[in-house]
């Protein structure tokens, strides 16, 4: 897809859940390459393993789940071999993640400004809230929150779902990570706001960030992504540049995603 070296390369990743004597192979041999200055889309239906894959990249899988095999190479170094302490230095600083369910991913009893402050402060012990507030306001404006001061002083439970989602995106931006994993960052937004957020992702890509965009919306992929992977039941069934795949979808599932109605009839 690209001649350059991948910033992040996932190789044959397998994450299984062991529940009640059953094994759920949520991610079952996924390999993807993510490049600087490109948006890599992961597309698949509900339960196909997209969120589990993102958490696996950060090595954040808890029991009963386990990463049983594979590599997550950041600049060629395998994160799965890192110690917990080393990983903490990577999480949020080099790889930031925007969670899928914004209202669940923000602590209801902690103010937005404290959330944003924490994101910065974890990796920069010298950071002071007062010096950061201006930057936070700018970031919130960038993601389309027109009253940044009110939002900063609000608790997440006082904001709408869409506003929380934009706060989540803003938090992904404040740390200037190299890789941004955006798990369905526009799922609960109206079309205008969705366009704004995607615009912001495109800008980040121009600035050189590597973006993983997880979505079930092929329209979004077509508009923004450079590379794409189609995932089904924990396996990659199709991959290539967006142009290639759209022009010539090889897998039946991809064709189904592209035109579910015609195929059904």
Partner 1 sequence: MKRLKLILLRIVQIIPVLLIVTMLAFWLSNVSAGDVANVTLQSKGIQPTEESLAAIREELGLNDPLPVQYINWLKKACRLDFGVSFQTNRPVTEEIFSRFPATLELAISASLLAVIFAIPLALLATRYRDSAPDHVIRVMSSIGATMPDFWIGLMLLYFFGVQLKIAPIVAGSKIQNIFLPAFTLSIQYAATYTRVLRGNLVEINRLDYIKAARARGLSEGGALVKHGLKNAILPVITLIGVNFGKLVGGQVAIETIFSWNGIGQFAISCMKVKDLPVIQGYIIIVLLAYVIVNLILDVVYMYIDPRIEVE
Ligand X SMILES: Nc1ncnc2c1ncn2[C@@H]1O[C@H](COP(=O)(O)OP(=O)(O)OP(=O)(O)O)[C@@H](O)[C@H]1O
* 175 sits in which H/E element: none
Contact residue for partner 1 among 58, 68, 127, 202 (CB under 8 A) = 58
Size of the site for ligand X (CB under 6 A): 16
Q: Which of 69, 261, 94 is nearest to 175 (CA)?
A: 94
Give the shortest CB-137-to-ligand X separation in angstroms. 31
**Residue of 110, 94, 95, 89 whose CA lies nearest to 167:** 110
Residue 104 touches which of Mg ion, ligand X, partner 1, none (Cβ within 5-8 Å per kind): partner 1
Which of partner 1, Mg ion, ligand X, none does residue 216 bind to, with CB < 5 to 8 Å depending on kind? ligand X
**100 is a site residue for ligand X (CB under 6 A):** yes
| Residue 46 interacting with ligand X (CB under 6 A) | yes
* Residue (102 or 240) nearer to partner 1, CB: 102
Q: Is 187 in the site for Mg ion (CB under 5 A)?
A: no
Residue 27 or 152: the one with the smaller Cβ distance to ligand X is 27
- Decide if residue 26 touches ligand X (CB under 6 A): yes
Structure-token pair, residue 83:
């110690």
Q: Identify what 97 binds: partner 1, ligand X, Mg ion, none; CB under 5 to 8 Å per kind.
A: partner 1
128-166 in b/e burial notation, b at 16+ Cβ within 10 A? eeeebbeebbebbebbbbeebeebbebebeebeebbbbb
Q: Which stretch binds partner 1 (CB under 8 A): 31-39, 118-126, 209-217, 236-244?
A: 118-126
Residue 244: Cβ within 10 Å count: 15
Q: Does 60 bind ligand X (CB under 6 A)?
A: no
Contact between residue 9 and residue 73 where contact means Cβ atoms under 8 Å apart: yes
Of residues 250, 182, 261, 251, the one with CA closest to residue 220: 182
DSSP 54-72: HHHHTT-PPTTEEEEEEEE
Minimum separation from the CB atom of position 43 to ligand X (A): 10
The DSSP code for 156 is G
Interaction site with Mg ion (CB under 5 A)? 50-51, 100
Interaction site with partner 1 (CB under 8 A)? 55, 58, 60, 84, 88-93, 96-97, 99, 101, 104-110, 118-119, 122-123, 155, 157, 171, 175
């Amino acid at each position: 897809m690209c001649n350059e070296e991948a910033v992040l390369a996932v190789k044959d990743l397998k994450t299984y859940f062991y529940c009640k004597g059953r094994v759920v192979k949520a991610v079952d041999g996924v390999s993807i390459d993510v490049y600087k200055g490109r948006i890599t889309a992961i597309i698949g239906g509900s339960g196909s393993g997209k969120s589990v894959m993102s958490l696996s990249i950060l090595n954040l899988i808890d029991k009963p789940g386990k990463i049983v095999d594979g590599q997550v190479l950041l600049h060629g170094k395998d994160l799965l071999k890192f110690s917990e302490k080393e990983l903490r230095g990577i999480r949020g600083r080099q790889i930031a993640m925007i969670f899928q369910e914004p209202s669940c991913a923000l602590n209801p009893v902690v103010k937005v400004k404290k959330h944003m402050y924490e994101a910065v402060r974890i990796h920069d012990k010298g950071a002071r809230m007062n010096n950061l507030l201006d930057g936070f306001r700018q970031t919130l404006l960038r993601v389309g929150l027109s009253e940044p001061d009110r939002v900063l002083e609000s608790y997440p439970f006082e904001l709408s779902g869409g506003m929380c989602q934009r706060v989540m995106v803003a938090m992904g931006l404040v740390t200037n990570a190299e890789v941004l994993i955006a798990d369905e960052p526009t799922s609960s937004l109206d079309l205008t706001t969705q366009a704004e957020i995607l615009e912001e992702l495109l800008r980040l890509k121009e600035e050189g960030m590597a973006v993983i965009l997880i979505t079930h919306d092929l329209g979004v992929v077509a508009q923004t992504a450079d590379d794409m992977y189609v995932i089904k039941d924990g396996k990659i069934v199709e991959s290539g540049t967006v142009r290639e795949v759209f022009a010539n979808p090889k897998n039946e599932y991809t064709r189904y995603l592209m035109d579910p109605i015609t195929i059904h009839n």
